[in-house]
Structure 1
Amino acid sequence: MDTFALILTVLVALGFAYTNGFHDSANAIATSVSTRALTPRAALAMAAVMNLLGAFLGSGVAKTVSEGLIQTPEGSKGMGILFAALLGAITWNMITWYFGLPSSSSHALFGGMVGAALAGGTTVYWSGVLDKIVAPMFLSPLIGLVAGYLVMTAILWIFRRANPHRAKRGFRIAQTVSAAGMALGHGLQDAQKTMGVVVMALVIADVEDYGDPIPTWVKLAAALMLSLGTYAGGWRIMRTLGRKIIELDPPQGFAAETTGASIMFATAYLFKAPISTTHVITSAIMGVGATKRVNAVRWGVAKNIVIGWFITMPAAAAVAACVFWLIQLVFSA
C-alpha cells in the first residue's frame, strides 16, 4: 500500500507539472506570438526545449519547496497530505485555465500544501511562507512593473532616431532570444517546484533523505512533463497575456520578456525563492505598456488578473483541505 501511495503521488505530481506547463506556456511565448515574432507552434516547440534545459540549471528552489514551507509529514497520512495538496493545485489550475486567467501555478501548489497541511495537523512554517512566498508575491510584480517600464523607456531613448520599421524588424528577431530566455527561466523555476514535491514524497516513503542529491530521474521526469505540457499550449491564457492587457509591438514584447527572464534568474540563484513566472511577466507587460500611455493598458483586465493572484492560494488551500478530509473519510469508513 505504501509503495502504491508513493507511485500514485509521484504520478499526480508529474500531472501537476503537465498542467503547469500548458497553463504557464503563455508566460514565455504570448508576447512573441502576439507580435508575430514566432509562429505559435514554433514558439511552443522552442519553449518546450528551453523548459527542459532550464530544469537542469539548479536545485535551490526545489530545496525551498521540499523543506521550507511545511514540516515533512510522515507515513500514509503524510502521503495523503501531499496527494491532497497536488489535487488542490491541479484543480485550481484547471479552473483558471478554463476562464483564461493567468493565475500562478506556483501559488496554487503552495496554497495546496498549506491547506492540506493545516487539515492534516502538520506544522506550517509560517516564516518560510511569509519570506519565500508572500513577500515575493507582492515584491516580484512591483519589481516587474517598474523594471518593465524602465527597460522600455531605455529602449525608446536608445532607438529614438532609428527607422521605426527597421527597428521593429530587428526586435522581432531579438524576441526569439528573449522568449527563449523567458522559457529557460520558467524551466529553472517551475520544474524545480515539482522536483521539490517529488523529493518530499520520496522522503515520506523513506526512499530518500533531504541531504541526498535530487535523483536524475526526478529531474528528467519533471522537466519532460513540464515540456510536454508547454507544447500542448495554453491558448486561452495566451490570448489574455498577448492581446487583452495591451496590444504589444516587437520592442515592447522584447522589453517584457527580457525583464521577466532577468527577474526569474536573479531570484532563483540569489534568493532560491520560488516566484511566480505569471506574476512577473504580467506585471512586466503592464509596465512596458504604461510607457506608451497609462490608459493604453486595459486596467480592467489587469484588475481581474490581480484579484485572481490574491485568491489563488486560499482557493487552492480550501480545495486541498477538502480533498484531504475526503481521503480521511473514505479510508476511515
Structure 2
Amino acid sequence: MDSMFLITVLIVIGALAFDFINGFHDTANAIATSVSTKALKPRHAIVLAAIMNFIGAISFTGVAKTISKDIVDPFTLQNGELVILAALVAAILWNLLTWYYGIPSSSSHAIIGSIAGAAIASAGFTSLNYNGFLKIIQALIFSPILAFAAGYLVYSIFKVLFKNLNLTKTNRNFRYFQIGTAALQAYTHGTNDAQKAMGIITMALIANGYQTGDDIQFWVQVSCAVAMGLGTSIGGWKIIKTVGGKIMKIRPVNGVAADLTGAMIIFGATYIHLPVSTTHVISSSILGVGASHRLKGVKWGTAQRMLITWVITLPISALCAALVYFILNLFF
C-alpha cells in the first residue's frame, strides 16, 4: 500500500476520532446547565445534544475552510501528511487527558496549537500563515471575554425584567424554556466545533494531492457530523459536573441567560467563519452570569483552574505535536 494513501486514511480516522472525542468532551458544556437545573434528564439532554450537534455540523462549512488554509498553507506545506497526523495525535492525547481529570479544556486550542507546532517542527516558523493564524488566535482570546461581558449584561437585563415575579414560579417557567436554549447551544456547538475536523481532513486531502480546491466534500461533512453526534451520545459526565455545578450554583434563570449568551457568541463566530473555543465561551458565559447574580456565589478557585488550563493548552499541544512529528518522521 502506498505510504501517502495509508497516512491519508490514518488522518481521516484520526480526525473522526478527534470529532468523536470532541463530542463527549465539549458537548458536555452545552448541556451542563440544563442537566444541573434538572430542566432535562441526563439521558434526554444527551440525545437532544447529539441530534442538534449533527444538524449544526451539516449546516455550515466556513469554519472548516478557515482551519484548512489559515493556519498553514496546505498547498505548500512540507511533509503535510505527517504534520497533520502528528497534530491529530497530540490534540487527541490532550483532550483525553483533560477529560480524564474533568477539566473543561479547549479542543480548539488543542488542535490549532498542534497544527502550528507540527508545522514549525517540519519547516520552521515561516511555515505558518501569520495573517490567518493571528486572526484565529485573536478570536480564541476575545471570544471568552466577550462571552463574560455578554453573560453579565444579559443576566442584568433579566434581573430588571423579572424582579417582581415569584421566584419559584419564574424558575419553573425558565426550566421549560431552558430545554430550547440547551438545544440552541448544542446546535451552535455543532456549527463551529465539528467543522474543525472537516478542515483537517480537507487540509490532508489537499496536501496529499487528492483535492485541488478548498471546498469541503459532502462525505467529509456528513462523516464528521456523524462522529460528533455519536461522541455526544456517550456523554462527558465529569465535565458536566465541573461546568454545571463547580463554577456556581445554577438556577434555571441563570442557565437560560448563560445558554443564550453562549449560543449567540458561538454562532456569531461561525457566521464570520472563525473557530472559537466553545468550552471557553460557555464557561465564560456562566462566569459572567454568576458575577451578575452574586459575585461571592462564583467559585473563583474553579475558574482559576480552568483559566490556567486554557492558557497552557495551546503551547503544550504545540510542543507535544512537534515531538510526535519527530517520532513519526523516523518511520515514514
What TM-score range do you get, normalising by the shorter chain? Answer: over 0.9
What's the counterpart of residue 182 of structure 1?
A: 185
Alignment match of 1:193 (pick from 188, 196, 199): 196
User: What letter matches 1:141 in structure 2?
Assistant: P
Distance 2:61 2:201 in 1: 13
Stretches of structure 1 lacking an aligned partner (at least 5 in a row): none
Distance 1:298 1:156 in 2: 21
Alignment match of 1:215 (pick from 214, 217, 221): 217
User: What letter matches 1:247 in structure 2?
Assistant: K
- Pairwise CA distance, 1:75: 8.6
Determine if contact 2:86/2:325 at 8 Å carries over to the other structure.
yes
Alignment match of 1:250 (pick from 242, 249, 252): 252
Distance 2:9 2:76 in 1: 16
Instruction: State yes or no: 1:204 paired with 2:214.
Output: no
Distance 1:114 1:75, change over 3 A: closer
| Aligned 1:1-333 pairs, distance under 5 A | 1=2, 2-72=4-74, 77-121=79-123, 123-132=127-136, 134-211=137-214, 213-269=215-271, 271-331=272-332
What is the aligned residue count?
A: 328
Stretches of structure 2 lacking an aligned partner (at least 5 in a row): none
Distance 1:129 1:23 in 2: 24
Report Cα offsets for 1:28-84 as digits up to 9, x if no partner.
100000000000010000000000000122111011100111121669921111000
Distance 1:188 1:81 in 2: 25
Identity of aligned residues (%): 44
Report Cα offsets for 1:72-119 as digits up to 9, x if no partner.
166992111100000110011011111111011011000110000001
- Pairwise CA distance, 1:8: 1.1
Moved more, 139-148 or 71-80: 71-80
Distance 1:76 1:205 in 2: 11
Distance 2:238 2:29 in 1: 12
1:291 is paired with a residue whose SS is: helix
Distance 2:77 2:167 in 1: 63
**TM-score (normalizing by structure 1):** 0.96
Determine if contact 1:73/1:81 at 8 Å carries over to the other structure.
no
**TM-score (normalizing by structure 2):** 0.96
1:309 is paired with a residue whose SS is: helix
Distance 2:115 2:12 in 1: 15
Distance 2:67 2:241 in 1: 30
Distance 1:321 1:210 in 2: 27
Distance 1:218 1:137 in 2: 25
Distance 1:47 1:224 in 2: 13
Determine if contact 2:80/2:208 at 8 Å carries over to the other structure.
no
